[in-house]
Structure 1
Amino acid sequence: MTGDILGNRPHVRRRVEAGMEVVVKNHRGGGERARRGLFVEAALQSAAAACYPAEANAPVAAPLSCTSDCLTTTFYAERTLDALLDSPGTLNVAAAAAGRAVGELHGQDVSGDEWAWLPKVAGEHPPLDPIPAGSLGELSAGTVDLAARIHHLGFGALLADTLNAVEDRQVFLHGDLKFDNILATADGTVVRLIDWECAGRGMPERDLGALAGSLLTETIRRATVREAGGEARELLERVDEGTQKAWSAIAGFLTAYRTVSSAPGLDSRRMVHMTAYALLCRALSYTQTTYEFDRLPKLLVRVASNMAAQPHTFVGRFT
């Protein structure tokens, strides 16, 4: 992929097409055929900005056709939420700011004709069903191992009611609401949402589960790589210590979300299931990148399994 790299992200580059300066995004590690692009994202981001009252400090901005230095100077000068994990107080402030922003986004009425073009939300799709034999050669060994484990645990049946639910509560979803798509100022008081190419209609629990799953994944990842080896008990203690930070931020996000009068009501059981689904998506992303089904994705599958099989034990986290 040719063009100038933006924000130290090789899959995001500026270049000229059809005489226009544009920003193009590819899947990480993908070639031209894997292109996602920012042409659609520009329209979705502009629509998201239009959802906020003119007097509000909108956490999105119409991207000026995604040209010039908008992405580098406006967005990448700020930090993603994971950069605040070592400052839990600031992380909670940023999570609350994000909760209010997403509550306002979800609370907008998108039932009119002008929103008819808004697609069903996109997203990752972990292999909940057996992988066809003809596709095995195209996948890494880690992805195949992960898919086998997911199928063995019956995630398809456990999550079917949630994933196949008739989405009667259609809201404007970000579609990829993970910690690295929420940028915050150093004090956490102002946030901005980026990467809108997966945006669309859907149930609000999809966005919120994705954020919860991403924060839990990052704290688990940090616990698993902090020290090589170690006893299983020590690892679980580190995981527990780390996930408490994530749960605290998730609680702050949801509390602020619910203060927005127009925000939709949430189904806590769906929240649990969508968080489990998000954990599986993160595990899949990891195995596709590293080609291994090792300690981190195994831990993610364990947590997701507990959530999917016993959602009643986690509902309190989301109420």
Structure 2
Amino acid sequence: MGRETWFYREVLPSISIAPACLLVAEAEDVVVLEYVDAVPLHQIALTEPESTLALMPELATALARLHLRSGHDAAATPRAILPLPPLDPVDLDVLMVVSAATLDIIERVQSRNTLTAAVESALAGPGPQGLVHADLKLDNILRPRPDGGIVVVDWELGGMGPTGWDIGCVVGAMLALWCSHLALDSATDPADWIDSGAVPFESVQLAACSFMEAYLKEMRGAAVADFGQVTTFIAANLVARTFSESTHVRRLSAHHLVRLLVAEGILLSPDELFGDLRW
């Protein structure tokens, strides 16, 4: 709670997307917030693509402004930020796979060490540091009823991080949600899905690009992680989600495996998702 109370006391009063704070106790880590009647983004991202797209510029602009605040009161800014969960190598002797093709995918990923290495490289690479939310799951992004707009909650992990952190979390969360709603079952061969030419559906692609473009526009030439760093972070975020969700199971589901393939595709061919978007 220490970092969350710091955020509400020092930073969030000027951030339009934070819920109204009624009380921050001076002596104890206590925060009292105004109740917000809202719908989390994960409930509407697939069913209301136009509404989701309309929310992206406001969300991105507010997060970019938060990042730019890192130059103010730098000495008081909390320097610790929780990293993505570490990924252990996939244990092929323990992991039960759904098909020979699946085994081939896991072996290929592990032999190149592409995806697990992406987590470390995305966080360790050079890049501007600034204030970030750090836990931008889609259920932490809310659309209030009935007024619309956007509210972001759960700031307890906030702190210093790279530009690509918030971008990677938002876009990675949207892609993970899409992957989890594909019409797959345990008998589906992920290789067949990837060979079918399926790509992230247009609404997710449009929302992802809209978010990044609005973020970069607000930064107005300020130092920003390069395109490669951000796409690597998005892929790393997908991988971290995949393995954190399957920690207690011995079988990666078809949806998990497709998520790994999407992450790999972002690393190898980011243009397929983001088109001509560059910075």
TM-score (norm 2): 0.76
Q: 2:246 touches 2:252 (CA, 8 Å); kept in 1? A: yes
Aligned partners of 2:22, 2:139: CA distance in 1, in Å?
Answer: 18
Shift in Å, 1:278: 0.6
2:207 corresponds to 1:244: no
Which residues of structure 2 form unaligned runs of 5+? Answer: 98-102
The answer to whether the 8 A contact 2:235-2:264 is kept is: yes
Q: Which runs of 5+ in 1 are unaligned?
A: 1-37
Corresponding residue to 1:81 among 18, 23, 41: 41
Task: Compare relative contact order (CA 8 Å, sep 6+) and give the higher one, 1 or 2.
Answer: 2
Is the Cα contact below 8 Å between 2:23 and 2:32 reproduced in 1? no
Give per-residue Cα distances to partners, 1:13-68, cap 9 Å, x unaligned: xxxxxxxxxxxxxxxxxxxxxxxxx4543333444404x3xxx6343544634869
SS of 2:236's equivalent in the other structure is helix
Q: 1:95 to 1:291 in 2, by over 3 A?
A: farther
Distance 1:256 1:294, change over 3 A: same
Shift of 1:212: 0.7
**Equivalent in 49, 52, 70 of residue 109 of structure 1:** 70
Say whether residues 1:277 and 2:241 are aligned partners.
Answer: no
**Quick one: distance in 1 between partners of 2:87 and 2:122?**
15
Identity %: 17
122, 126, 134: which is aligned to 1:162?
Answer: 122
State the match for 1:181 in structure 2: 140
Assess if the C-alpha contact under 8 Å between 1:173 and 1:202 holds in 2.
yes
Q: Which of 119, 125, 132 matches 2:86? A: 125
- Matched to 1:279, the amino acid is L
Q: Distance in 2 between matches of 1:159 and 1:312?
A: 20
Distance in 1 (CA, whole Å) between partners of 2:272 and 2:165 is 20
SS in 1 for 2:151: strand
How far apart are the structure 1 equivalents of 2:256 and 2:197? 13
Task: State the SS of the aligned residue for 1:79.
Answer: strand
Looking at structure 1, the residues matched to 195 and 52 of structure 2 have their Cα atoms a distance apart, in angstroms, of 21
Correspondence 1:237-316 to 2 at 5 A: 240=198, 243-261=201-219, 264-288=223-247, 290-311=249-270, 314=273, 316=275
The residue aligned with 1:204 is 163
Could you tell me whether the CA contact under 8 Å between 2:70 and 2:77 is conserved in 1? no
Q: 1:165 and 1:89, CA in 2 relative to 1: closer, same or farther beyond 3 A?
A: same
Structure 1 CA distance for aligned equivalents of residues 58 and 270 of structure 2: 27
User: Over residues 62-91 of structure 1, what are the superposed CA-to-partner deviations in whole Å (9 max), with x where a residue is unaligned?
Assistant: 4634869737x22xx211112222111111
The separation in 1 between residues aligned to 2:31 and 2:76, in whole angstroms, is 28
Deviation string, structure 1 residues 131-166 (Cα, Å, up to 9, x no partner): 7xxxx99xx879xx9987753341245565433213
For 2:227 and 2:146, locate their aligned partners in 1 and report how far apart those are by CA, in whole Å.
30
CA distance in 1, matches of 2:147, 2:194: 29
Q: Give the superposition deviation at 1:244.
A: 2.4
The alpha-carbon deviation at position 269 of structure 1 amounts to 1.0
Q: State the alpha-carbon separation in 2 of the partners of residues 299 and 256 from structure 1.
A: 29
Question: Which residue identity lines up with residue 252 of structure 1 in the other structure?
Answer: S
Q: 1:57 aligns with which of 16, 31, 49?
A: 16
* Per-residue Cα deviation, 1:233-285 (whole angstroms, up to 9, x for no partner): 99669994763222111122122223325565341111110011011011012
- RMSD across aligned C-alpha pairs, in angstroms? 3.8
Residue of 81, 91, 94 corresponding to 2:52: 91
Give distance in 2, aligned partners of 1:122 and 1:148: 26
Count of residues in correspondence between the two structures: 264
SS at match of 1:176: coil
Aligned counterparts of 1:61 and 1:148: Cα–Cα separation in 2: 49
Output the TM-score relative to the length of structure 1.
0.67
Counterpart of 1:83, as a letter, is Q
Q: CA separation of 1:115/1:92 partners in 2, compared to 1, >3 Å: closer, same or farther?
A: same
> Which string of whole-angstrom CA distances, capped at 9 and with x for unpartnered residues, describes residues 102-155 of structure 1?
11111213363443433234332333x577xxxx99xx879xx99877533412
